[in-house]
Amino acid sequence: MTAVDLAALRQRAASLRQLIQYHAHRYHVLDAPEISDEAYDSLFQELLELERAHPDLIAPDSPTLRAGAPPAAGFARVEHPAPMLSLGNAVTPDDLYAWRERLLRLLPGDIAILYTVEPKIDGLTVVLHYEEGLFTLGATRGDGSVGEEITANLRTVRSLPLRVPVAGDEAPPRRLVVRGEAYMSKAEFARFQAAQEAESGRRYVNPRNTAAGALRNLDPAVTAARPLDLWAYQIVALEAGPDLAGQWPALAYLARLGFPVTQAENRRFDDFDALVAYCVQWGERRHELPYEVDGLVIKVDDFALQERLGYVGKDPRWAVAYKYPSAEAATRLLAIQVEVGRTGVLTPRAVLEPVYLGGVTVSSATLHNADYIAERDIRVGDTVVIKRAGEVIPQVLRALPELRSGAETPWQMPDRCPVCGGPVARYAGEVAYYCENMACPAQLVRRIEFFVSRAAMDIAGFGSKQAELFVAKGFIHEIADIYDLPDRREALLALEGFAAKKVENLLQAIAASKQQPATRLLTGLGIHFVGAAVAELLLEHFRSFAALAAASAEEMAEIEGIGPRIAASVTAWFAQPANQRTLARLAAAGLPMRLPEATPEAPATLAGRTFVITGTLPTWSRDRATAIIKEHGGKVAAAVSGATDYLLAGEKAGSKLEKAQKLGIPILSEEDVRALLGWPAA
C-alpha cells in the first residue's frame, strides 16, 4: 500500500469517527437523531472493518472501543484532583430555610445570592478526565479522596463523549475534570431485567445497583452489554478554558462541549421562597422522570461565594440535598432469618414477598431487634407495611392484623446461634442478643472484614471474599493471624486466582497497615460501642493501649463523651485473656500501640495553623499525618482556601498543589513538618 493510500484511509477513518460521534451525541444525549439506525450502523460497521484491517488506524477516541476492552486484572487507585464531597440533607422546607440562614450569617448582609436547583440522580458517581479534549481517565468516587480507575468501562457508555467538544469549532480546554452520575434509565432497566430473567432466571435489585455493578466489573465487555447512560453536573478542574463564574454557566459550558446535562429539569432562582415552592411541587412529579432521582440539589450559584463559605466536616456549606419522604408498600412476611454480626449481635431480617417500592424491587428488610418485633406484634405470614428508610434501607414498619387468616405464627429469638449453635445471651440494659462463642465463624469473618476495611486498617485488596476464604482454609483463626500471612506466601500462591502479583500486593498492603495510627487499630478491634470517634477520645486521654487496659471503668467514664456503657464494654474487652493475647501478638507484629508523643519543648507547636494534605508522603499515611498535626495543635482541612496556612505535599500532588501555589500558600514536605515539630529526619 502506498503512502497516499494509507493517508486516504487515515483521513476516511478520522471522518467516520467524527461523523459517528456526532450522530451518537444526537441520539444518546440530545434525543434528536438525524439519520436512521440502519444508516448509523452502516457507518459504524465501515469504521470497524477499516480498523480491523489496519489496527494502526485505531484512535483513543474511536467509537468502536465502546464495545469493551479485554478484562482487567483489578482496579488501580486514582487520587481525585479535589475532594468528591457528600452533601448535607434537608427533608422539609424548614430545613431549607435553616440552611439559608446559616449561609446568610457567614456572608455580608447586603449580598444577593443566586441558587441553582438540579435533580439528584440515583446512580454511581464517576470522575472523568480530559486532556486536550480527549477522554483519558475515568474513576469512581471511592472514599471521596481516592477512587478506582474504570476508564475502559466508562468508554462503553455511549452518552459519554470520548472527545470534546463533540460539535462546533470551539477549542477544547487543555485539561478538564468533570463529575457526573452513571445510571440506567427505568425503561432500559425494565428491558434488561426482563431479558436477564428470561435467559437465566436472575433478577437485579434496582437500576442504581445494576449500573454500579456494571461499571465495577473487571470485564468491560460486561459493562458494554448493559444500557448505561450519564449525566454531567460539576466541573472539578479546568485549565485553559473559559472563566466561569458559577454553576449555571458551568452547566451551560458542559452542555456546549457535548456532555449530557439535565437542562430541562435545572432551574436558577434569586427568590428563595420560589425555590422552596419549586422543591415541594417538584416532588409530586419526580416519579414521572425516565430515570431514578431521590431529591434535588441546591447550590449557591457563585464560585467565589462557594470558596468563601467553605466546608463543615465533609459537607460543603454552599450546597444541600433536598430529600423526599420515603415511599411505602404492603407485602407478605414470608420468614424471619437471623444474621450474626462481627460483634456477635443477632439481627432479625425479614424475608418478603418481592414488591416494587420507589424504583426498587424489595425482597428483604430490617426488623431491627426482637423487642421491635414483639412491640408491634409482627408475625410470620403477616401482611406488613415497609418503607425505604432514607430511600436506601428497607424496613418493616408495622403489621396489618386485620388481614390475618389465623395461620400467622409469632416469632421469638432463637436460644442458639444459627451459624455455630453456640449459646445466645442478652445483657442487662440492652435490646440486642449476642452469640457468646468468640470462635463463631460468622463473627470471625465479619470482624476480619471490619478490621481490614477503610474505616479501620485499610488493607487494600483484602475484603469479604478474602476473609471468608482465609477463614475457610484455616489461615486465620483470629485478627492477629492476618500478620502471619506473609509466612504463608507459598500457601497463598497455591490458591486459585492468587497469582504472584496479587499475593505480593496483598502482603505489601498488610505491611503498610502497620503504619496506621493507633486510633485505627483500636477502632478495628471491634469493641462494642467503640467507633472511630470513641477510639480517638480514649487514646487522646490515655495515650497508649497499656494505659487504657489498666484504667478502670470509672476513670474512662470521666472522659467527656465516654459514658458508663462504653466504659464497661471497653474494660470487659481488655479483661478477656484471649483479647490480651491478641494485643500482645499485634504489638509483636509491629503495630502501633500508642499515640506519638508530643515533644516536651513544644507540645502545641502547630496550634492555630491549618494544613491541607495531598499526594503520597514518604513514610506517613494520610491518616498518620493528620493525627500528628492534630496532636500538636494544628487543624487539617479537606480543601485549599484562603484560610490554609500550609500545604503538606507528597508525590503525585494534583490540583491542590496548583491552587496553593496560586494563592501563595507555603508548600511543606514531610521533612519540613518534622523540622517544624523539632523531630529528627526520617
Which residues are designated catalytic?
A: 120
φ/ψ of residue 473, rounded to 5: -80, -5
445 vs 460: CA distance, rounded Å: 17
CB atoms within 10 A of CB 505: 15
CB atoms within 10 A of CB 410: 10
Residue 462 near residue 602 (C-beta atoms within 8 A): no
- With a CB cutoff of 8 Å and minimum separation 6, the contacts of 193 are 203, 204
Residue 558: exposed, middle, or buried by beta-carbon count in 10 A (0-12, 13-18, 19+)?
exposed
392 vs 364: CA distance, rounded Å: 12
Cα 263 to the center of its chain, rounded Å: 26
DSSP of 75-109, one letter per residue?
PPEEE-SS-----EEE-SHHHHHHHHHHHHHHS-T
- Give the burial string for 86-105 (b: 16+ CB within 10 Å, else e): ebbebeeeebbeebbeebee
Nearest to 188 by CA among 28, 403, 38, 1: 28
Q: What is the DSSP letter of 115?
A: E
Residue 390 near residue 327 (C-beta atoms within 8 A): no
Q: What is the DSSP letter of 485?
A: G
What is the CA angle 577-583-584, rounded to 5? 90
DSSP of 15-82, one letter per residue?
HHHHHHHHHHHHHHTSS--SS-HHHHHHHHHHHHHHHHH-GGG--TT-GGGGG--SPPS-PPEEE-SS
Residue where the block lists cell 424496613: 395
- With a CB cutoff of 8 Å and minimum separation 6, the contacts of 508 are none
Assign 3-state DSSP to the chain and report helix, strand, coil percentages, each to 5.
Answer: 40, 20, 40
561 vs 539: CA distance, rounded Å: 13
Nearest to 248 by CA among 176, 319, 308, 300: 300
Residue 371 near residue 348 (C-beta atoms within 8 A): no
